[in-house]
Structure 1
Amino acid sequence: MNAAWVAATVRARALARRCPGTDGARALAAGAGLDQALRELAGTPYGRYAAPAAGLPEAQRAVSATLLWHLRVLAGWLPRGGARLLVPLACGFEVANVAARLTGDAPGQVPAEPYRLGALETAWRRLERAGTGAELRAVLAASAWGDPGGDSAGAVLTGMRMAAARRTALAVPQARDWAVGRAALLTARERFVHERPLTEPVRRDAARLLGSRAAGAASYARFRGLLPAPARRLLAEAGEPGALWRAEVRWWRTLRDDGTALLRDARFGPRAVVGAVAVLSVDAWRVRAALESAARGGRVGEAFDAPA
């Protein structure tokens, strides 16, 4: 293992140790409103981007921006070419940029600046210049994202989200099960909650990750029964499409547990780096949920049900 991987692993572990963790998120969630939560957030790594007087959407975006900054810092410590490991793991930020372009901001909300991905970008600078859905689709089709199969907002975003799972599974072996779980959740929502057919490219990606029989299943029950083991475990407590939120929470718990195990691996190298990305991502998700809980009067939800 070369010195760059050793340095990157040390940096990854240091970033993960600074996370507020479950206890920190609980404290944020149980506070006397969002203003207090933001004051407490200022003493964490998320304080870099969080403004004291921010509303909930701005505060949650600040948490996400901090996560992206940590991933960019980590990418800078990787050996030459090593940033390719993190690009699929960070591509949700590019999806978020495109979603903002396609769906716009809520009435009265100040438009947010796009996330700047630096070396973790796939095609954002070209996507940013695209003026129509057809142009967005053409840029995606000519990039590592691939053709989403349509140019409506729904088709573009579903195509990108499934492509993110496919890219992660192919490029990051340690994250394959996470990607399979994401593909299962996305397929289940599209087909059995929203009752929308998958475009052909999305169906092909789903079949690669879940198997062709699961991807083409006619019912939710049959879909669950045909899933590969990681996804079947994920949906074990979601006996009907309306309970998929349970599978979503379980996905985050799995990410937390797997990421912690990878991070604690005694070896230096990609496993620890991928583990750190997982731990940092879970922490950001937990803190975003904590801020929402604080804004709604301190109700603590399932994001805080067990220590990390």
Structure 2
Amino acid sequence: MGAGWVAGVTRARAMLSRALGREKAAEVASAPGLDDAVRCLSATAYGHDLLPGASLADAQQAVGATLLWHLRVLAGWQPPRGANALRLLASGFEIANTRDHLRALTGSGAPRAPYRLGTLATAWPRLARTRSPQELRAALAASAWGDPGAGSPAAVATGMRVSATVRTAAALPEAVRWAAGRLALLVGREVFVAHHPMTPASARRAGRLLGTAAVTATSYPDFRQRLPATARWAVNGVESAGDLWQAETRWWDRVEEDGRELLHGARLGSAPVVGAVAVLSTDAWRVRGALELAARGGGRLEVMDVRA
């Protein structure tokens, strides 16, 4: 197996040179306006699709598109198992495409250009051809995503996120704690902050990773107490559901720290590839947050509140 990973692992480590880094991202965040922040990024790996005068949403989407391109390039160097790992770790882009497509179908949002997924798509070409929420839900149910349990934009987005985390945890041992922690934050926010009960289908799926006792909890304290250790770390110290946003940065910090640890040594296999994706993804999340702070007039990156 090792020989098949040589090119993939080598390319994964080389891709880290595309990351902006915390110090440079802090400079972007301190810019006095979005246009200044975009100019600051123009000579970096994120500058390719960033246009002067871009809105915050378009600038953040351009940052996401850069990350996706890096993941697509990286996937091209992987053996089949590595490519499958990249597809799972890039699930958020297909979720974003589907969310935007469904909003356009329901008239609740303007059409947006979708992310170009290429070989990292799970079911997007089929989903993109749907012409009603019912048809979209049926297409999801017939794919690896599974039935979200309802056809509303909120139910579909939550159902896809639950599906992605559960499938990632099942396929990638290196990412189990990240996935479980991510799912704990998602369920906590949806149920106890937004007061959006999950559909039975999504609740059953989430229970595979968080346990039925946690998913059926009727209060945030009970939910937090009933989480398994693999997920509870993400909400430790968060006494109120309304403060869950504070755990977001901690989750990303943990992903980046673990990702760098996976990159250490001379190992060949999926671990360094997963680690590289973790570092690159955290970097893109940080840059998106820096752009938002700049759009508000500039601020300290350490105190940003970015919902990924």
State the TM-score, normalized to the length of structure 1.
0.93
- Matched residue, 1:238: 238
- Matched residue, 1:43: 43
Q: Deviations over 1:1-60 (max 9, x none)?
A: 544411111111111133111001011111232222111211111112211332211111
- Does 2:14 match 1:17? no
State the TM-score, normalized to the length of structure 2.
0.93
SS at match of 2:265: coil
CA distance in 2 between partners of 1:303 and 1:133 (Å): 38
Unmatched 5+ stretches in structure 2: none
CA, structure 1 residues 110+53, in 2 after alignment: closer, same or farther (shift >3 Å)? Answer: farther
Which amino acid is the alignment partner of residue 163 of structure 2?
A: A
- Matched residue, 2:174: 174
CA distance in 2 between partners of 1:238 and 1:215 (Å): 18
Give the conservation status (yes or no) of the 8 Å contact 1:289–1:303: no
User: What count of residue pairs does the alignment treat as equivalent?
Assistant: 303
- Matched residue, 2:250: 250
- Matched residue, 1:141: 141
Give the conservation status (yes or no) of the 8 Å contact 1:63–1:287: yes
CA distance in 2 between partners of 1:268 and 1:21 (Å): 25
Shift of 1:117: 0.8
CA, structure 1 residues 293+245, in 2 after alignment: closer, same or farther (shift >3 Å)? Answer: same
| RMSD (Å) for aligned C-alpha atoms | 2.0
SS at match of 1:32: coil
Shift of 1:173: 1.3
CA distance in 1 between partners of 2:5 and 2:180 (Å): 27
- Matched residue, 1:101: 101
CA distance in 1 between partners of 2:104 and 2:253 (Å): 31
Give the conservation status (yes or no) of the 8 Å contact 1:206–1:215: yes
CA, structure 1 residues 187+110, in 2 after alignment: closer, same or farther (shift >3 Å)? Answer: closer
Give the conservation status (yes or no) of the 8 Å contact 2:2–2:268: no
- Matched residue, 1:123: 123
Give the conservation status (yes or no) of the 8 Å contact 2:263–2:272: yes
Which amino acid is the alignment partner of residue 250 of structure 2?
A: R
- Does 2:72 match 1:75? no
Shift of 1:205: 1.3
Q: Deviations over 1:217-257 (max 9, x none)?
A: 12110110111113212111211110010111111111111
CA distance in 1 between partners of 2:291 and 2:194 (Å): 28
Give the conservation status (yes or no) of the 8 Å contact 1:286–1:303: no
Aligned-residue identity in percent: 54
Which amino acid is the alignment partner of residue 176 of structure 1?
A: V
Shift of 1:148: 0.5
SS at match of 1:298: coil
CA distance in 2 between partners of 1:65 and 1:258 (Å): 24
Which amino acid is the alignment partner of residue 72 of structure 2?
A: R
CA, structure 1 residues 136+237, in 2 after alignment: closer, same or farther (shift >3 Å)? Answer: same
The 5 A counterparts of 1:1-308 are 1-80=1-80, 82-104=82-104, 111-302=111-302
SS at match of 2:66: helix
Give the conservation status (yes or no) of the 8 Å contact 2:26–2:301: no
Shift of 1:111: 4.3
CA distance in 1 between partners of 2:264 and 2:155 (Å): 39
CA distance in 2 between partners of 1:204 and 1:131 (Å): 28
Shift of 1:196: 2.5
SS at match of 1:291: helix
Which amino acid is the alignment partner of residue 46 of structure 2?
A: Y
